[in-house]
Amino acid sequence: MSSEMVSEYTVVHEKAKSFYESYDRKEELPHQTHFCPGCGHGIVHKMLAQAIDELGIQDKTILVGPIGCSVFTYYYFDVGNVSAAHGRAPAVATAMKRSRPESIVIGYQGDGDLSAIGSAEILHAANRGEHITVIFVNNGIYSMTGGQAAPTTLLGQKSTTTPGGRSAATEGYPLHVSELLATLQAPVYIERVGLGDNKQIAQAKRAIKRAVENQVRGLGFSLVEVLSPCPTIWKMPPVEAQHWVNDVMEKTFPLAVLCDRTKEAVPRPLAAAGPALEDIPHLLGVHEEGLPEGNSAAIKRPAEDLDLRVRVAGFGGQGVLLLGEVLAEAGLDAGLEVSWLPSYGPEIRSGTSNCHVRLAGRPIDSPLVVEPNVLLAMNEPSLRKFYASVHPDGWILYNGETIPEECNRKDVHVLACQFSQVADELGDPRVANMVMLGALLEIAAVLPEASIDAALLRLVKNQRWVQLDERALARGRELYKEAEVSHACRG
Ligand SMILES: Cc1ncc(C[n+]2csc(CCOP(=O)(O)OP(=O)(O)O)c2C)c(N)n1
Ligand code: SF4
Ligand SMILES: [Mg+2]
């Protein structure tokens, strides 16, 4: 378009430069974030990216991302990215800023992350007046994990852990973290804003930019709390959720500048830098020869080397985690060393789920199963994702008629079967997980049936389901015996 054609009123829609041009988290959705429609996180992301652009600091910004629905900041922001453990963003941001004072370090946290597990970190970082900026997205709930109450949950608000509504008598009052931090001497700027309507959104943008700019100017700690809608967990349409911020949330959390010392603040010196990286081993008394003898005394290992490494994968709702739990509980009952590690995506809807299970005859070094000797793939995407990781001579059990050609390996044993259909014939497709487990138990033959029964009784409380699961396990055992196992066959 020539410059003459751009009238005074032309609106140019373009993405902030501080976002990646396309997002490679999901190949098929390179322009979409993972947030639900109407989610406040998306709006806050946009405002933060625009602030970074406007301040011209993209190349020196480090964003410390949280655990929560906004865990994927590093897929979207084209800046330096670090992920912190749950609640630890202020501690990680402190280290970043102190070791790289020329960088602009921004912590991004949800209300569960900041006001519950991370309450100590934010309090002390603010009290130390760390030269960081914190964006605190308060949606009054633990959204990513499905809606448990947070310290910020409103009185009367229902959550999965306060099904009758939060009560002051049992859960205490909503925690006003920003007011609390504003009582400290060190912070320079703390403001609470909302996303309840367009006017508020414009103010939220100004506040976020200001909080980042304070750091550019060398002032101390700044925090912006954003009251943010979560339509999915609040179970409201997006527009209603936005109104709820305005009509309800703000009654408990009034919008206000809670502390502003930017006028009187003189740029404070940064805290003294810590020791140089190369001096740390010396300071800790660790020398090149390694740890003193005795610390690394070899663990006595039993001669028998059982090491069953199982990866179970499928859609949420297919009983992937329960399958793994039954296996692990049964192993425990049988006196083995066991570990069970669930892993599920942050999407609330249509997520995938998988778990790592280890059963061993000696102490387990890591619960991670990177190279399984058994893969239970309950759907095709899981097969495609994990088939290549299976150890040669290992097993793939696949819930499908045949293995797709591209996933066909000659060096592993394969049992492909319509497990869901078999389960359906038994009375409920949801016991496909137990049919697969039955087949695995027959293959691995390391667990006595009594241990499996004991595990089922402990984990599945309903007697009807226990009986159905037992039938499914037995059918799975038969299936293995009847089936044609491709490639390196049994025997
Ligand atoms: C150490 C640890 N404890 C618990 C969890 C589980 N967990 C993941 S996100 C989350 C809460 C997130 O809530 P919030 O910070 O409010 O973020 P939202 O999803 O609401 O944006 C919890 C408890 C975890 N990942 N790590
Ligand atoms: S569950 Fe809530 S906070 Fe999480 S992405 Fe969806 S709307 Fe956003
Ligand atoms: Mg939250």
Predicted pLDDT at 25: 84
Instruction: Point out the domain boundary residue: 260, 292, 321.
Output: 260
Q: Are 419 and 436 in contact (CB under 8 A)?
A: yes
Residues 427 and 344 in one domain: yes
Domain that residue 321 falls in: 307-482
pLDDT of 273 reads 59
In terms of domains, do 62 and 174 share one? yes
d(CA 308, CA 294): 30
pLDDT confidence bin for 402, thresholds 50/70/90? very high
Q: Are residues 187 and 64 in the same domain?
A: yes
| Residue 27 confidence (pLDDT) | 80
Averaged pLDDT, 112-120: 98
Q: Does residue 179 carry a pLDDT above 70?
A: yes
Report CA(192)–ligand 2 centroid distance (Å): 20
CA 31 to centroid of ligand 3, rounded, Å: 24
Residue 439 covered by a domain: yes
Does 46 contact ligand 2 (Cβ within 6 A)? no
The rounded distance, in Å, linking the Cα atoms of 442 and 474 is 10
Closest-approaching ligand to the CA atom of 71: 1
Q: How far apart are CA 489 and CA 491, in angstroms?
A: 6
Whether residue 348 has its Cβ less than 6 Å from ligand 2: yes
Confidence of residue 305 (pLDDT cuts 50, 70, 90): confident
Whether 42 lines ligand 1, by a CB cut-off of 6 Å, is no
Q: Determine the distance separating the centroid of ligand 2 and the alpha carbon of 229, expressed in angstroms.
A: 8
What is the mean predicted confidence (pLDDT) over 476-481? 93
The percent of residues in the chain predicted with pLDDT above 90, rounded, is 79
Ligand 3 geometric centre to CA of 211 (Å)? 21
Residue 279 lies in a domain: no
Residue nearest to atom 21 of ligand 1 (CA): 69
d(CA 103, CA 55): 13
- Is there an atom of ligand 2 within 6 Å of 150 CB? no
Residue nearest to atom 12 of ligand 1 (CA): 68
455 lies in a domain?
yes
Higher pLDDT: 124 or 296? It is: 124
Distance 39 CA to ligand 2 centre (A): 5
The predicted pLDDT at position 10 comes to 73
Structurally, how many domains does the chain consist of? 2
Name the residue with higher pLDDT: 88 or 347: 88
Nearest CA to ligand 2 atom 8: 39
Residue 392 lies in a domain: yes
Q: Is the CB of 162 under 6 A from ligand 2?
A: no
pLDDT score of 364 = 87
Q: How far is the centre of ligand 3, averaged over its atoms, from the C-alpha of 295 (Å)?
A: 42
The confidence band for 286, taking pLDDT boundaries of 50, 70 and 90, is low
Query: Rounded mean pLDDT of 110-126?
Result: 98
Task: Return the ligand 2 atom nearest residue 229 CA.
Answer: 7
Over the chain, what is the mean pLDDT? 90
Q: What is the pLDDT of residue 461?
A: 83
Does 25 reside within a domain? yes
| 277 domain residue, yes or no | no
Asked if residue 139 has its Cβ within 6 Å of ligand 1, the reply is yes
> Using 50, 70 and 90 to split pLDDT, how confident is the model at 337?
very high
39 ligand 2 Cβ < 6 A: yes
User: Which amino acid residue places its CA nearest to atom 3 of ligand 2?
Assistant: 230
Say what the pTM is: 0.65
User: Does residue 290 surpass a pLDDT of 70?
Assistant: no
Rounded Cα distance between 323 and 313, Å, is: 10
Q: Which residues pair with 354 in a beta bridge?
A: 313, 343
Query: At CA 253, angle to CA 252 and CA 254, rounded to 5?
Result: 110
- Mean pLDDT (whole number) for 373-399: 95
Helix pair angle (320-333, 449-459), 10° resolution: 130
If pLDDT is split at 50, 70 and 90, which confidence band does 491 have?
very low
What CATH number should be reported for the domain holding residue 344? 3.40.920.10
Which phi-psi region, left, alpha or beta, contains residue 435 (left: φ > 0; alpha: ψ -120 to 50)?
A: alpha
pLDDT tens-place string over residues 414-443: 999 999 999 999 999 999 999 999 999 999
- Joined tokens for residue 396: 């793939």
Q: What's the token pair of residue 256? A: 């206000």
